[in-house]
Amino acid sequence: MEDGGTRHLSHECRVDMMEEEGEPLTGGDGLTGAGVILIPKLPHVEFSLECRDLIGSGRDRKPNALVQVAVIDPREQYLVSHACTEIVEGSRDPLFLTGVTFPPEYPASPETLVKLTVYDVRDKARDNSSFLGSATFSVSDLLRSKDDQLTLNLRSSDGVLAVGTVLVSRVNMGEMEEGDMDHITADVQQAQKCTLVCESSQGTLNDKDNSPLTGAVFKNPVCKVYKFQTVDSKWMLVREQMEECTLSFSIPRQLLHLYIQEDMRRIQELRDLGELSPHWDNLRKEVIGRYGQVIAAYQETLAELNKITGPSFKPSCSKAQRYLEFIPINLHTQRMRVMCPRQTDAFYDVITVGAPAAHFQGFKGGGLQRLLSRHEAEKKSFSTAYQCIYYSPEHTAKAQEVLHSVGHLQPLISGLADQLLQAAQQHSMAGLREALKTLAGKTEQFVHALKDELVKSALLALHAAQPGYVTKNQNQTLPGHQGHSHQDHPSPSQRGQQGQSPPQNPGHSPGQPSATDSPVVVCNNVDGGSQTAPIREDGQTPLKRQDSIPCHKEYDEEEWDRVWADVAKSLNCVIAMVDKLQEQEPINNNQEQPIPKQVLADVITSHNPEGDWREQLCPLVVRLKECVAEVVVRARRAMTFVLLQEAACSIPQGLFLKQRRDVVFSQALAALACGFVMRLYAGMEDKGFLRQLHLVGLVAQFESLLSTYSEEIGMLEDMEVGISDLHRVAFKITQAKTDDPCDLQPVVIGRRDHYTVEVPLPRLAFQTLPHEIKEGKALQVYPVLFNVGINEQQTIADRFGDISLQERINQRNFEILDSYYKSLSDKVPSECLPCFQTQTDLKDLLGTLGQNVVTKKRKNVEILWLAGTICRRLNGIRFTSCKSAKDRTSMSVTLEQCALLRDEHQLNKDYFTRALDCMRSRLTQGEVVCQWDSDPEAACSVAENKPASRHFYPIALLLVSSHLLVVWLILSLVFLLAKYQ
């Protein structure tokens, strides 16, 4: 299995192959290879291969035949490998299931020469094969042939002896005729002749699969097409198409840019805090320095990513490269389309990706889940050492939310205020009322965002951190008094007269002053007790104080309350003035509810009601904008100080963990965006799906096959946090500026606490969407993760290790999935969900999944099968992951596809194993590489079928066996030592 490749459906490897056996590089008409690409387009040409009367290298030995297909490179005059069949063992008349395709986009012409070389593969493990014969023909020969068939003689190396014939049959992979299907018999020999696999770099079954819409995000498609027999002797056409996704690099690049912008804003906000005491100023400098290091590293990574051209995915062999750590591993889409007579075409999509994890940084200390838990427990001790207030993650998240809200709403309020003045200047009462309505709504939203005790507490803490600060009752405190005292803002005159308060002693908690300190600046309720604050005069109930919020009973609350309340008062004045102006309009007598006269009398009477509307409104609007600006300055500084203390308490591990979390989230978001876009494109004509999308959202089910052993425990811990962070992501559908592919690329906006992915659609497609989606409603995605390890390392973990992490993940995410189903049931009728042949009720499936989640069973792959089935029944997005999205991932995908063919499309039981083998095999020059996991029984037990053959290499078996033996011996020795001690 190549490290850099993909799964069972791989890209054609163009390997240069020197001219063999003296075969000339010209065709029968004397045309050389130089003319191969003169004609850029040709019809879609596909053909199957069959050999007859092969003469093996031994008299009594039947050959293991394989055909290599090559074309002539016109520029370098050598053969280039184009395709390769599977190996048909022990047959003189082999029928190859793998066909050959020359799609329209292939750089060839009707005069392109094709060389077929037949090998006898003696030893697959050692790549030992012998040449049997070869034949050459041109594409035009096949196009002009009678009955679309060519019969060619295979010639030996000297070109004299005929060693058999090869039959080249052109295949039309268009729509299947029902009558044609009825004439196909169920005879096994005939069935083999009708089963075909075609590999190509472009699909042909349906233009929808390769439309310009999908081509903007998905590229380099690779296809395989099969015909399989059903239980009623009919034939289904099955098509696999795998594609790369441009979002593998596009999303991480955008995130890096946003990370850099956010951290640079944070640095500027820290500088805008103004003058601080030496202790806090030193902490600020250290935090700014740390942010600067992160920014420099991100800028360097972004610059390197911008230089990369070529494939749109990161191969697993590059997972240890630093500059690629933000890129997901082997992110690909896999679509299986099934066409059956008298049935509607069915699509089954899955996204395959390597586990989102910080592979470059390693897992010696565990993954994010363990590191974050450990770090959060240590932050309190760090807060004591750095003399900071400990703020919980909820408080820091609230601080970031407030910062974002005020930063977002202030320019909106300012712009709406200008619109109000413009409407007043135009004497447009309708425009005035509309602008006022929007302005009032945004201003109320602004005031509500600041209605939190954290803002007041942070203002107190910031005030206490300024130079020369003393509490107003400092002179009343006896020397050496250890009780808590309360504080207030010093006046500007006091601030100038006071000297700088000495910094606290190292290791001293801010809530416990020493004898040399000024009276207590803050108090932490370390006992965990909290008292319910009384209801204030404005009717608001303050939040309960947490142990991280300082007491501030004697803090000058009036100053903040006055500034905060001035915003609402200014808005009321504007509303009252608009009502006053409306009274002058005889046409419209509708008025807002009256404002208290005592509040507005001075303001309204100071203006001439008969004068110009703009002149009367302008002072009030200016006052409103000034009040908003003053509140923003105070709130922004307060919340920035909260984040400064959080960053200071996090040194030195905090920013490192943030970087690791950024890396994991980048990989997870790229995969999620890929899956969302693929699901959206597939459901554009499904009204039920679109209704579900805007009413409830979509479930995104991540299937993980990681073991709970060794470094994969750290990967799973990273993945758990990364998938959980996706809850903060929303999607919006927008109308693209043009239909150019560049304008159809999704765009990420937002900040670390909340990102929005905007997915542009062409105008015609956008107009077909429901009104709610076109209006820009945020579309939610509910990611869930289920993990079941299936390899030999999981066997060790099940017997001797700890699988509690896996059990906790499955239980927690089952609860999320069950909650989503209940919400969906309440808002969306069952008719909106897809129909399946299996009629098991969704509620029953969820109940069975819940039972399996709590059942103690080794390698319980039933959990994965049930979760995947439920996801498809819920119109969800399916993801499958293992360490590198190769071996275990390909096993899961192929098994699921064959099971779907069996359960939903009546695949003949005799074809199940054969279909599984065909989908899992990947063929290269003279060698079969089958993507088998080292524990295939675990995955195959889901379908209660096992492959007919298993291609294990002896060396690999020996290494695995020796590894297990060594582990067993070591564990036995440990147990013996523990027993006798």
Rounded to whole angstroms, the Cα distance separating 271 from 280 reads 12
297: its two tokens: 């590293």
Beta strands at 332-339 and 346-352: parallel, antiparallel or unpaired: antiparallel
**687 to 130, 428, 595, 834: CA distances (angstroms):** 58, 41, 47, 11
Helix (H, G, I), strand (E, B) or coil at 261: helix
Note whether 623 and 568 are within 8 A (CB).
no
Note whether 219 and 332 are within 8 A (CB).
no
Residues 6+ positions from 789 with CB-CB distance below 8 Å: 705, 706, 707, 708, 709, 712, 797, 803, 806, 859
3-state secondary structure 701-748: EEEECCCCCCHHHHHHHHHHHHHHHHHHEEEEEEECCCCCHHHHCCEE
Active site residue 882: yes
User: What are 350's strand-pairing partners?
Assistant: 334
Closest CA relative to residue 80, chosen from 33, 15, 32? 15
314: its two tokens: 């990161």
The residue assigned the tokens 């000024």 is 518
User: What are 199's strand-pairing partners?
Assistant: 100, 224
Task: Centre a 10 Å sphere on the Cβ of residue 33 and count the other Cβ atoms it contains.
Answer: 22
Rounded to whole angstroms, the Cα distance separating 57 from 64 reads 11
Catalytic residue among 51, 198, 882, 940: 882
Residues 6+ positions from 810 with CB-CB distance below 8 Å: 786, 787, 788, 853, 863
DSSP string, 846-858: HHHHHHHHHS--T
Helix segments in 465-612, DSSP class H: 492-497, 557-583, 597-605
849: its two tokens: 């999944």
596: its two tokens: 């208290």
Closest CA relative to residue 889, chosen from 902, 899, 904, 879? 879
Closest CA relative to residue 327, chosen from 310, 344, 347? 310
**905 to 235, 347, 685, 855, 874: CA distances (angstroms):** 10, 12, 23, 31, 19
Burial 847-881 (b: 16+ CB within 10 A, else e): ebbbebbeeeeebbbbbbbbbbbbbbbbbbbbbbb
For residue 86, is it left (φ>0), alpha (ψ between -120 and 50) or beta? beta
Peptide bond into 652 cis (omega under 30): yes
423: its two tokens: 């409407």
Rounded to whole angstroms, the Cα distance separating 209 from 889 reads 23
The H or E element that residue 352 is part of is strand 346-352
Residues 771-774: contacts with CB within 8 Å, 24+ apart? 772/694, 773/690, 773/693, 773/694, 773/733, 774/733, 774/735
The H or E element that residue 646 is part of is helix 613-650
Rounded to whole angstroms, the Cα distance separating 759 from 693 reads 14
Helix (H, G, I), strand (E, B) or coil at 200: strand
Helix segments in 23-162, DSSP class H: 139-144
Burial label for 89, CB within 10 Å (0-12, 13-18, 19+), is middle
The residues annotated as belonging to the active site are 882
